[in-house]
Amino acid sequence: MSDQAERAVRETGRQARNVADSRWFELLVRAGYVGSGIVHLLIGYLVVLLGLGNASGGSETDQSGALQQLADVPGGVVLLWVVAVGTAALTLRLVVETIVGGRSDSARAWATRAENAGKAVVYGVVSWSAATFALGAGKSSSGSSRSAAAQALATPGGVLLLLAAAAVAVAVGVGMVVIGVRRSFRKHIVRPPESLDRIVTVLAVTGYVGKGFAIVVVGVLLAVAGIRSDPDQATGLDGAFDAVRELPAGTVLLVAIGIGFLAYGVWCFFRARFARL
């Protein structure tokens, strides 16, 4: 790379960092955490209803189901755009952190970049989904999962691809459980006042463990789909919750997971207030 090109890259990175550090952009990022909290609260509500046997027929208990529920309430479209814009800003912030955030080539710095890139993908999907539902074009995520699995299985090495995706999902889920148990989430927030610290900690631990367990189940279902070459087994959270319900004491487990998502949603609101940005 020539000196001129290198200077251009550095200048672009500096400008991107200035934008990401601006006050208005910080407010949008915090709104992104609020949007994520709303989605998780709705998912938790739907999962608890499913566990108690009160879910409405045909309703999905995953992200798409939560966004559809939001679209159906008065003023829901406005809230969907809040979720879409806020999580889009959060995605952009994470992309900037991935590209220019690291100042060293250490293994830890690259691991942080990889983590930020993964989070950017997750929040980007949430933003895109919220926008499509706001525009009235939202689709079932479970159907999309099956379609993607079918396409993967139809390609050479598709089984290995699904198994790799399953391994990633399980690793992410286990990672969330570990974050909750070890309370590693504390490094991402400014310490709340003593009166709130215990409440925030309990919410975060419960949320990370509950959500992590659900993601592990998704990974297991992907692995089953790959091993059996059956795309119908490859579902998202919606199918994972149905699978949990079929287990012994599945109703109790499902309600516990729903409470975990509710806790994670409230934790997101606190994170919006106390996040280190």
pLDDT in tens, 223-267: 877 777 666 665 666 777 877 888 888 888 889 999 999 999 999
Residue 30 amino acid letter: R
CA-to-CA dists, residue 187 to 45, 50, 84, 137, 182, angstroms:
28, 34, 26, 38, 11
Nearest to 146 by CA among 233, 35, 39: 233
When mean pLDDT is compared across 85-94, 155-164, 226-235, the lowest value belongs to: 226-235
* Predicted confidence (pLDDT) per residue in 184-238, tens digit: 999 889 989 988 999 999 999 999 999 999 889 888 887 877 777 666 665 666 7
